[in-house]
Structure 1
Amino acid sequence: MRRVRSGPLLALLLPPMLALGLATDTGAGARASAGPLHSERTALAVDAPASAEAGRVLTVAVSGAGNGSTVRLIAIGSLGQIVLTATATADTARFHLPVAFTRTAGSVTLVATSAGFVAHGTTELLAGTAVGPVQAVVGARSIVADGADASMVVTIPVDVWGNAVAEGSPVQFFRQNPDGTQGTSQTTMTHLLAFANLLSGTRAGRGTVWVSVGTVSGPAVSLDEVAGPPEPFTLEPVEPLLAGRAMADGQTLVPVRTSVLRDRFGNVEPDGTQVTVEWSGAEGPARATAVTIAGVAQISVQAPSTPGDLQITGFCRGVASAGALVLPFSAAVGDFPVTADLRPAAVNVTVGPVTGYGGSLVPDGTPVSVSVTDETGPAGSRSGGLVNGTADVVVPSRKLVGRVTVTVSVLGAQTEKTLR
């Protein structure tokens, strides 16, 4: 118990002070108001424990007040202050600070007054033992499985009243790694919390982390370790293309897929990893995106309308495919008939029927381009679309001079017709 009394000079100072009708307090040295004093009263003293567990009734005794005297006690703590009064019996007044006031850890300052006398005391309220569940907070929740990335786990174990347990209390962290191994580490409470660093491994997958304090613990929290950027990968058509059978018909979709995307430790890229596929050919560049499933991304490339090679590359998280995939596309149609008639200020051209190499008519809407030239140069052009394999196209022209040539293009194949 801590007792706070007046200083040792009181015995020397008391006779002159009594002669002047004055009194002084004990520990604080505060001066009381003038007036007569009872001869049996001595200086006040606050008897309180130096420390106590938070959330328990705290008993405080104030001695030095005369029998029957009223004593006032002011207690100031983390939750504010309370004022209690009691009547001294056998020179002592006793006070009981309720749990509602003592449930929060921290310092409690005690100030007792009686008939002009003042005394002080202090009690430190300490947190009790930890109660479960002890919650682990992990962040970041996803790290790269490259042996260098890291996360952190933080915990604030509390007692039944929500007070962080005492400084220096041991805290143990447990970790289940994606490869099935387990690890533990121990630290102590510092500044109301405990923490530990979580270094990544090289095996991708889901791990768990949990905390134990004394005999209580808490639920496991997940920590994902994911693959890093992939190593260079390859592209290939889903169905091998036979030479001369990839047609530049402007409509066929050619599915292309990547090899399995893995990082340098062999971890497969997680589902949903974005892959960008770019290609270029006679009709210019184009691109599209796809996402991986089981480490593989697949995308469909539309066949060009012009024969030639398509150069296809892929990119994922800044990594390019090892080499470009080259897809050759040949003309989708062979020779087709064309008839043309000269009219005033126009040329009437009939195209078709146009068939593919398999003998079937090309799809409706396939574009047709018609141009007219004479001995002086270009005279006019017009485009149309095939219906049932044929098209009638009227090409407006200036006055034609000499020999006239009509050129018709369908899916990269050309037929010329000479007039006059």
Structure 2
Amino acid sequence: MKKKQRIVFVLVSCSVLLFSFIAVNREKQNTDFSLLTTQNVFEAGSAIQLSFLAKNNTTASLWVQSSYGSIVLDANVKNDTITFALPHFYAKKAGKISWVLTNDATTIQKGTFEIIPKDDIRLENYLGPRSMPAGDGHYTMMVTIPTDLYDNPKPDGTPATIKWQFLDDIRTETLPTKDFISWKRIYSPEKAGKVLTSVACLGMETKETETDVYPTIPVNFKIDYSRNHAFADGNQTTTLTSSIIKDKFGNTVGDGTAVTYVVTTSKNTILKTFGSTVGGIAMAEILSPELAETYTVKAYINGMAESNTINISYKAIQPVIEYEFSEDKRTITVGTIKSFMNQIAPDGTTVTLQVYHDDKLVDTLSEYTRKGVATFKLSEEEYKAAAYYFTITAYESTITTEKIHYASKQ
């Protein structure tokens, strides 16, 4: 038993001596190095070095860490001094730097220093959106970021002056940076135009940027019409014209705003024509009918605005209808058709021929005039009956021919 106790005592004593030796050796290593560099704040981009007094010419490595990353630097040894130079790319980034001096994987010393932005100024500014409707709380936002040559943000509290102009109104506001930025909401005026903006900071000025202010949703408007005459000749056009279309703030809507004119006939047939605004006015045209008619017209800007309702009436034309048959009675020539001033009707005027047999309507044919004349041909294969009579209609006039007899093929 006593022998075992003696053995344990010897082992414990050896362990204590060993740990004491290691501790003394580590303390000796720590005292082999002392930091010579007293500066702990550096400007970005400058040459940054940490120097240590190294007794016994001992080698070491320096582990450096920042938000930019971690690197291990080897020493440059000269006499009893070892120096660690921070790479230039690493020295350009501002922030807090932590370092650890190691020797054979043993930590010898620790410390920190700071890199601050370089003493010059660059301005990054962002504006958006670049267009907005007038009024109603719409706004664009100017954001500015003061930085140095190496893109390091300036410290919080750096004064940035935001300027904006609309017409005769010029305003400025100085806003200290917070979280590295300054920003300002610039609300839309009630008039359409351009808002110009710029930023100044520490003697640096940006170029101007601009935001377009465009009219907001159009309001209801009026329409009217003009024409050369009121006759239903199927040739002349009627021009539909809107008033100057504006938004609720009195801004004229932008060129190219689409306006749809909806025309309803007396038989409830729907016609449409379209116009685009120029200077706020939208114009469109409709062709006059060939029969007496009253059109009801209303205009719309899809989903936004509408016009008043107008009525457009057209007068009937009642020409004298002349016609003649060919020798075999198979060709009918109608005309010359005259219009409201007894002038030749425009080319393309519709002439309708209705064919009757035994008082029953057999067929309806339509042709267009050329130089006031329309021609109808009746083939023997299609019209085989022994006798027909016809009605001829042009504009509002209709006449009925005598019964025409044909040699029967039956």
The reply to whether TM is greater than 0.5 is yes
Unaligned runs of 5+ in 1: 1-15, 25-35
Residue matched to 1:268: 252
Aligned-residue offset at 1:306: 3.4
Question: Pairwise mapping of residues 103-122 of structure 1 onto structure 2 (< 5 A)?
Answer: 103-114=92-103, 117-118=106-107, 119-122=109-112
Aligned residues of 2:227 and 2:237 also touching (Cα < 8 A):
no
Unaligned runs of 5+ in 2: 1-15, 404-410
Query: Aligned Cα RMSD in Å?
Result: 3.2
* Secondary structure of the corresponding residue to residue 315 of structure 2: strand
Out of 171, 189, 205, which is 1:201 matched to? Answer: 189
Distance (whole Å) between structure 2 residues aligned to residue 102 and residue 45 of structure 1: 23
Distance (whole Å) between structure 1 residues aligned to residue 32 and residue 23 of structure 2: 9
Aligned residues of 1:139 and 1:152 also touching (Cα < 8 A):
yes
Residue matched to 1:250: 234
Aligned-residue offset at 1:173: 1.2
Distance (whole Å) between structure 2 residues aligned to residue 198 and residue 145 of structure 1: 12
1:52 aligns with 2:52: no
1:277 aligns with 2:277: no
Give the residue type in structure 2 aligned to 1:102.
A
Deviation per CA, 1:367-395, whole angstroms, max 9, x where unpaired?
A: 32211235542122222222221122135
Deviation per CA, 1:80-131, whole angstroms, max 9, x where unpaired?
A: 52523133755x5333324332112233332212355422223332323552
Aligned residues of 1:172 and 1:187 also touching (Cα < 8 A):
yes
Residue matched to 1:406: 390
Aligned-residue offset at 1:356: 1.3
Structure 1 residues 290 and 120 mapped into 2: Cα distance closer, same or farther (>3 Å)?
Answer: farther
* Secondary structure of the corresponding residue to residue 147 of structure 2: coil
Give the TM-score taking structure 2 as reference length: 0.81
Structure 1 residues 249 and 192 mapped into 2: Cα distance closer, same or farther (>3 Å)?
Answer: farther
Aligned-residue offset at 1:409: 2.6
Distance (whole Å) between structure 2 residues aligned to residue 310 and residue 56 of structure 1: 84
Give the TM-score taking structure 1 as reference length: 0.79
Residue matched to 1:308: 293
Distance (whole Å) between structure 1 residues aligned to residue 317 and residue 348 of structure 2: 15
Question: Pairwise mapping of residues 137-148 of structure 1 onto structure 2 (< 5 A)?
Answer: 137-148=126-137
Residue matched to 1:299: 284
Distance (whole Å) between structure 2 residues aligned to residue 42 and residue 392 of structure 1: 124
Structure 1 residues 130 and 221 mapped into 2: Cα distance closer, same or farther (>3 Å)?
Answer: farther
Structure with greater helix percent: 2
Give the residue type in structure 2 aligned to 1:167.
D
Deviation per CA, 1:58-87, whole angstroms, max 9, x where unpaired?
A: 232335x32422232233341652523133
Out of 161, 166, 187, which is 1:172 matched to? Answer: 161
Residue matched to 2:3: none
* Secondary structure of the corresponding residue to residue 324 of structure 1: strand
Give the residue type in structure 2 aligned to 1:307.
A
Deviation per CA, 1:187-239, whole angstroms, max 9, x where unpaired?
A: 333344332212111111111111122211201111111111222211122xx
Residues paired across the two proteins, number: 382
Aligned residues of 1:86 and 1:95 also touching (Cα < 8 A):
yes
* Secondary structure of the corresponding residue to residue 309 of structure 1: strand
Structure 1 residues 67 and 332 mapped into 2: Cα distance closer, same or farther (>3 Å)?
Answer: farther
Aligned-residue offset at 1:292: 1.8
Structure 1 residues 187 and 116 mapped into 2: Cα distance closer, same or farther (>3 Å)?
Answer: same
* Secondary structure of the corresponding residue to residue 365 of structure 2: strand
Aligned residues of 1:361 and 1:389 also touching (Cα < 8 A):
yes
Out of 148, 154, 158, which is 1:159 matched to? Answer: 148
Residue matched to 2:337: 354
Distance (whole Å) between structure 1 residues aligned to residue 171 and residue 110 of structure 2: 51
Residue matched to 1:224: 212
More displaced, 384-393 or 218-227?
A: 384-393
Residue matched to 1:390: 373
Aligned residues of 2:232 and 2:291 also touching (Cα < 8 A):
yes
Aligned-residue offset at 1:260: 0.9
Give the residue type in structure 1 aligned to 2:42.
A
Residue matched to 2:22: 22
Out of 174, 177, 191, which is 1:189 matched to? Answer: 177
More displaced, 204-213 or 188-197?
A: 188-197
Deviation per CA, 1:148-202, whole angstroms, max 9, x where unpaired?
A: 212212222221112222233232211102x320222333333443322121111
Residue matched to 2:71: 81
Distance (whole Å) between structure 2 residues aligned to residue 45 and residue 248 of structure 1: 110
